[in-house]
Amino acid sequence: MRRAELFVAMLFAAFSVYLMWKSSELEIRYVSGEGPGGGFWPFWLAAGMLVCTGLIMLRWVRRLSPPSQSTLPLVDNHGIRMLVLVGGGLIAFVALCQVLGMYGGMLLFLIYYLRFLGKHSWVSTLAISITTPVIFFFFFDVAMRQVLPKGYLEPLFLPLYAIFL
Pair (65, 41) in one structural domain: yes
| C-alpha span between 34 and 111 (Å, rounded) | 51
pLDDT 10s digits, 133-155: 999 999 999 998 888 999 999 99
By residue range, what is the domain housing residue 118?
77-164
Structural domain ending residue among the three candidates 44, 69, 94? 69
Pair (42, 94) in one structural domain: no
Pair (90, 115) in one structural domain: yes
pLDDT 10s digits, 91-135: 999 999 999 999 999 999 999 999 999 999 999 999 999 999 999
CB 101 within 8 A of CB 150: yes
Axis-axis angle for helices 77-111, 122-136 (nearest 10): 70
Integer-rounded Cα Rg, in Å, for the chain is 23
Pair (123, 153) in one structural domain: yes
Pair (85, 156) in one structural domain: yes
Pair (82, 159) in one structural domain: yes
Strand blocks (E) in the chain: 30-31, 35-36
